[in-house]
Amino acid sequence: SDAKTYLPGGKVKLNVRTLLEGKPVAAEVSVGVVDQGVYDISPDTTNLYSAMYPERYDQVQTAYSFPEVYLDGGDKGTSKVPFRKNFRDTAAWLPAVWTGSTGSAQVEVTLPDNITGWRVTVAGLTDRSEAGITTGTFQAKKPLMVRLGLPQFLVEGDQMRLTAVVANDE
């Protein structure tokens, strides 16, 4: 990436280079930008050899996925601070990026509003079936962040002391 940190919703420029024995080589690569937390829950166990030459079974498999929608309950009051609304686990999936004879390509990714670490995974394949995979990371964060510590519930007449953690990275 062109930087180590970005603002949520910012644009990231990823420079992809494909090399074989230190020399540029044309290749088709896939580029994925995924929330690092996904890999904390389920580590990446990608094996290029078994992915390229899988065992084949005589069976049919069916899978179903559906988008989840979370509603926040509407407006929480007026403010000039823009609300972050676009939260996703995957910032980008580019399955076919061609690096050409120079062995390089540049892609631009617009981040969602997540404040998190992002992992970039690039897997490539040349016309001669030479394959490779690599990863990189960067962070999306704001220069000033406030995290409130609130109880799970309150009832009328309860009193509490508000706890806040303020991080100023400027």
Q: Choose the weakest-confidence range: 32-41, 76-85, 108-117.
A: 76-85
**SS3 of residue 39 by DSSP:** helix
- The pTM of the full predicted model, rounded to 2 decimals, is 0.71
Q: Which residues of 117-140 are buried (b: 16+ CB within 10 A; e: fewer)?
A: ebbbbbbbbbeeeeebbeeeebeb
Distance from chain centroid for Cα 61: 28
Q: For 116-151, what is each residue's pLDDT tens digit?
A: 999 999 999 999 989 999 999 999 988 887 888 878
pLDDT of residue 78: 57
How would residue 162 be classed by pLDDT, with cut points 50, 70 and 90?
confident
pLDDT of residue 93: 96
Cα gap 116→118, rounded to integer Å: 6
Determine which helix (DSSP H) or strand (DSSP E) holds 37, and give its type and residue range.
Answer: helix 36-41
